[in-house]
Structure 1
Amino acid sequence: MASQSRWTKPVPEKEVLRRLIAEHRKLCTSQKANSATSSRHEDVDYHEAKDLSITEIKEELEELKQKLDDPDFSLVTRGDRNVTYRACSDGVRRLTVKNINTRSKPKDVKRNDVSDVIDYILKSIEENMRETHQGGYYQKRNGDKKFKKEQMYDIIDDICCTIGCTIPSFPVDAAEKAFVGGRLSWMQNGYPTYCQSRDDGVAVPNLRSKMIWRIMKPSMGMPGVGGRRFIKLLWETFRLPTYGLFDCDPSGIIIFNTYTVGSIEKAYDNVSLTCPSMTWLGVWPSDLRDLEIAGEDLSEKNIQEVDNLLKKEFVKDNPRLKEELKEMKRTGKKANLEALKEKFGPAWLSKGFLPYKLHRLLTVK
């Protein structure tokens, strides 16, 4: 176990919370000041999705469908070559679309798929219903057995990016992978949901309004857009400190970056899906050293991922993240959250590690 010098007398819980909130408010004030002085991207090439009404979305989709017959029809290009890291409308730097004039012409098969998906969405709008990616996929699959689920997600992103619509305002919901627990309740469609009703939390809803939170838990893999939007709304509403706890490996750090600066796939809508103020609570590579957790060796792929992350501008903007990535590469070790449970017991994550890290945030700069 870590040496006793690492485990200094803990600060009382209420004092920890008071000081963390005070520190967070200073951060928010600083970010607001920086936003006020940051340059705004008012050039015609800058692209940032906006919340659109159902009427506006319907008009945009009908116009987009008419353009499909034009041989020169094109969609805004998504992907690495049209993504940059820069200040958005609020002055905060994120991954965002570089140039809306960088476009690509879809092949005939893709063009037909886009047309079918637009018809599916327009039909749901006429019926005053919100649909799901899953429902659209199965309907399309009935007529095209080669159509894959990933294609449905890709087409929805292409449409939203091209018409400049945020994911939360678009009338198609993705299946959610996150859960929320704690002293939280909300009303949806006239029915109450109580997060304390289940020990493992309840599924995060598809949100277009503001709510309150305690603890949110994503499932395995990359975070879904609903969970990311949920955290964003909670932070916007209450300005409470937001912390992320992830596996100590390149994938865990990539997930943290997805929450804070966004993803390449959703670059057109990262403003509404990111929480830049989130603090990386761990597990840090230095935690493995301090808590004497052996961990596992990094694979060659992991080492390449670390090298790639160290080249990113958003990593250079985060001194702690940069330092810990260098520590990971130096030691060549990684570990998941289960490693803490295996070494210290099932309750230690909440009763030992979290108090230790929150205290460390207040005492170690």
Structure 2
Amino acid sequence: MKTNNTIFKLLAFAFIATIIFSCSKDDSISELPEIRSGFYILNEGGFNSNNASLDYYNFENASLTSSLFAQKNKRGLGDTGNDAQIYGSKMYIVVNASNTVEVINAKTALSIKQLDFKNNGKGRQPRYIVFNKNKAFVSSYDGTVAVIDTASLVIEKFITVGRNPEQMAIANNKIYVANSGGLDYPNYDKTVSVIDLNTLTEIKKIPVVINPGGVAATADGRIYVKSTGDYDKIMPSLTIIDSKTDEVKSTKEFSGSGMTIVEDKAYFLTSAGVKEYDLNTDAVTKDNFITDGTTYKIGYGLSYDKINQQLFVCDAQSYSGTGAILCFDKSGKLLYKVNTGVLPSKVIFLNK
């Protein structure tokens, strides 16, 4: 009997060990890096031309599907696609001149809901979108940031900020909103609104150089604000804000657009190439990240794939014809080029 009990215990132990080992293997599998299946391309289209479009590039067979949204939904995307982001299983596409936010299934591109951004019949002109927990936040030129519940897809409220807000960034439980005043030349705005994510209200405005448009956050909570200036006497600039104190740490003249932050580096589009900037030393490390002599005609957008460590330049080529996406590896060499619709402005990466 004792022998049988011993054998039974040994078998039970082996069985439990097998389960534990199997669970450990499953846990390790779940922690493997994400794998890309491809990427979407948001083509802004010409203003008032009603030709914004969404393309899709498939990594598996290196093929491009043009105007995928129109193919799937039997209608166009609208007028002036300004921003797009994937959050969870959905992709949100901000269509500026059509005054809509199109919510689609990220895998199939089928429309789930189209959100109307009009106030008593007047378009709010939505611009950019960011996310926090179960909320989406959309800046609009009417001086508001909309709060959208990502489950019900209902607009819950509008937060009043500055004039003609553009890009936003989140750090330390706050949203930083660049108030450009860009439609009010020469009386530009010169503030960054700070929204508290607990109360969903604007709690302060931080003065910066006039006409701020680009905002991005570092992992340690620094907020970088790119201002365009007045195109005359006030030069473009880069301002750094500490999100812990909301104090401006520094401001300096700085040219470049399409600011993209990746770990301890930032990248900017210039007419001569892609400028690389070290966030630890706050200095330009490379005037041109591109190392193989590849050039682009009109840099219109910049995206970085952290998983594959590739930089994507959106080249408008012209303001009316087709554009192109240029993909560079981490050494700055061109990997491939993809033709697009009119005014490609953003690459949105899709996981398997």
Query: What is the TM-score of this pair, normalised by structure 1?
Result: 0.26
**Bigger fraction of residues in strand:** 2
Greater Rg over alpha carbons, structure: 2
**Structure with more contact order per residue of length (Cα contacts < 8 Å, sep ≥ 6):** 1
**Bigger fraction of residues in helix:** 1
Query: What is the TM-score of this pair, normalised by structure 2?
Result: 0.27
